[in-house]
Structure 1
Amino acid sequence: MNKPHFILKSRGADEKTVEELGNLLEKSYDLVGKEFNYYPTKNIPVFVYGSMEAFWDYNKALDGETVMGLYNMGVIHLVVPEAFDLTLEQYETNGPVLHEYTHLVVDELTGGNLETWFTEGLALYQEYNVYGTEWGQFMDSKDEYSLEDLRGNFMALDSDKAYRKSFLIMKDIYDRKGNHEVLDLLKELKAGHDFYKAFASLSDS
């Protein structure tokens, strides 16, 4: 199924749901585009899975892990709302479409010169900015991770705590510096500057 900016392929998902998710992707294209002043010109491939099992069949490395979406090397993967007993509206505000699309935009704007916690923090901030969805809002802040913790093996950390800290770091940056400074940082990263030197110049100033 083709949309103006996306090419969607069903992997066990019904046509109506694929159409609805395509509409959400186009909405995210506009919303995220305004935030980052960036609108990809090439059509973006998207796979829509009708169940977690279908997702695992095609993504063996994540077998057994429950995820709503995935971004990997220019491709977006989405699991249908029905797999989580969510309505389309609930699915939208939970943010997987906006979240994964943000990953794609940030990847392209930085040329891949980024850290996992950074792109996760940016995607979670966009969920908060657009839908008011705050990751881990009611989590206990006791024993939260430091930036040094996030700089290590991010994927080996407790995911809830790691995502929460990533969100808080980026929210603080946006609150103190604003969107323009974040966009300047992305340009520096695209130019090949060292990630942590560029980030430190923003976060410490």
Structure 2
Amino acid sequence: MGKSVYFARLVLGVIVACLALLFIQLLRNSALPRQGFYELFRYLAWEENRIKTHNFKSLETNHFVIKFLDEDERFTSLVAKTAEDVYDPITGFFNFRPADKIVIVMYPDGESLARSFGWDKDERAMGVYWGGTIRILSPRAWTSDAYVESTFTRDGPIAHEFTHLLVDYMTRGNYSRWFTEGVAQYVEKKTTGFSFGDPFAGTGAGDRRKRIYDFTTLEREFDQLDQGIAYWESLQAVEYMVKLGGEPGLLKVIEALREGNSMPRAVEKGLGVSFAAFTDNFYVQVLDN
């Protein structure tokens, strides 16, 4: 059993790595059927994670499968309740429900979480959506027992990562990083009340003007940027979309992405303004507020 599982993991790992490299090439050519290819990549990544976590225990709820190790069994009911509590509000917002139960894998520490999708072990995250699976850090690893329930319910990663999953499925993988981060924060704030702090709090407009990123930089270098500013700006951009077209306009942008449109074209179709006008007016608003 051990050797067969190892071999299956090895084969799937190689396939997923090759598909990831091919997908990067496909991104450079919009004429190719990258969305269908991406769905295959996502399925194989999901299968790879299923094999890697074959030794995890599991708890099924109406809409989720929670996978965990023995040391985290006492947190499964908290994770399950938190996930179920946000399921209806978030799927209702998008008017979209996944066909299958969503897998949430709870990892005991940051190193094992990072290792599950190839991040450096020194990266820090409470949760990540990747390859069709929500992966979270055990609550015991980042908050004390005295406040674990209230902290995890409001500040935990479930609502944020579940939104990423829905955007991924609804657009068939066709979205910009800043967009999905902005939508995830918008829906999380609407659902749980949680939001990140303003990185420019206490500073003047001059500091904001010097440090804010253009959309090309957000698009190409998101992970290398100051994360506080990148995340904040992403939320501001999505909130500006809602200001222009309401939440129906935001959903139209998502539908346009599903149809295979580029991010600029999706903004134009969803909001009825050119992307150039959207970005110019957005920067004016951000710098003036």
TM-score by length of 1: 0.91
1:145 and 2:213 equivalent?
A: yes
Structure 2: distance between partners of 1:75 and 1:105: 11
User: Which position in structure 2 is the counterpart of 1:90?
Assistant: 151
Deviation at 1:162, TM superposition (A): 0.5
1:35-50 equivalences in 2 (<5 Å): 35-50=93-108
User: Which position in structure 2 is the counterpart of 1:124?
Assistant: 185
User: Which position in structure 2 is the counterpart of 1:34?
Assistant: 92
User: Which position in structure 1 is the counterpart of 2:241?
Assistant: 173
Larger Rg: 2
Q: Which moved more, 1:162-171 or 1:50-59?
A: 50-59
Conserved in 2, the CA contact under 8 Å of 1:146 and 1:165?
no
1:162 and 2:220 equivalent?
A: no
User: How has the CA–CA distance of structure 1 residues 169 and 204 changed in structure 2, closer, same or farther, with 3 Å as cutoff?
Assistant: farther
Structure scoring higher RCO (CA < 8 A, sep ≥ 6) equals 1
1:5-16 equivalences in 2 (<5 Å): 5-11=63-69, 13-16=71-74
Q: Which moved more, 1:160-169 or 1:53-62?
A: 53-62
Q: Which moved more, 1:97-106 or 1:152-161?
A: 152-161
Deviation at 1:45, TM superposition (A): 1.5
Deviation per CA, 1:21-46: give whole Å up to 9, x if none: 01111122111111101111201121
Conserved in 1, the CA contact under 8 Å of 2:174 and 2:257?
yes
Matched-pair identity in %: 28
Note the residue ranges of structure 1 that are not aligned, 5 or more in a row. Answer: none
Structure 1: distance between partners of 2:120 and 2:269: 36
1:114 and 2:175 equivalent?
A: yes
Amino acid of the residue matched to residue 3 of structure 1? T
Structure 2: distance between partners of 1:181 and 1:95: 28
User: How has the CA–CA distance of structure 1 residues 15 and 167 changed in structure 2, closer, same or farther, with 3 Å as cutoff?
Assistant: same
Deviation per CA, 1:79-105: give whole Å up to 9, x if none: 122211252211222241000000000
Conserved in 2, the CA contact under 8 Å of 1:12 and 1:49?
no
Structure 1: distance between partners of 2:71 and 2:174: 34
Deviation at 1:123, TM superposition (A): 0.3
Deviation at 1:204, TM superposition (A): 6.3
Conserved in 2, the CA contact under 8 Å of 1:109 and 1:190?
yes
SS of corresponding position for 1:76: strand
Amino acid of the residue matched to residue 68 of structure 1? M
SS of corresponding position for 2:194: coil
Conserved in 2, the CA contact under 8 Å of 1:9 and 1:46?
yes
Aligned residues: 205
Q: Which moved more, 1:19-28 or 1:113-122?
A: 19-28
Conserved in 2, the CA contact under 8 Å of 1:144 and 1:161?
yes
Structure 2: distance between partners of 1:57 and 1:108: 24
Deviation at 1:131, TM superposition (A): 2.4
Amino acid of the residue matched to residue 154 of structure 1? F
Structure 1: distance between partners of 2:93 and 2:67: 27
Note the residue ranges of structure 2 that are not aligned, 5 or more in a row. Answer: 1-58, 202-206, 274-289
| RMSD after superposition | 1.9
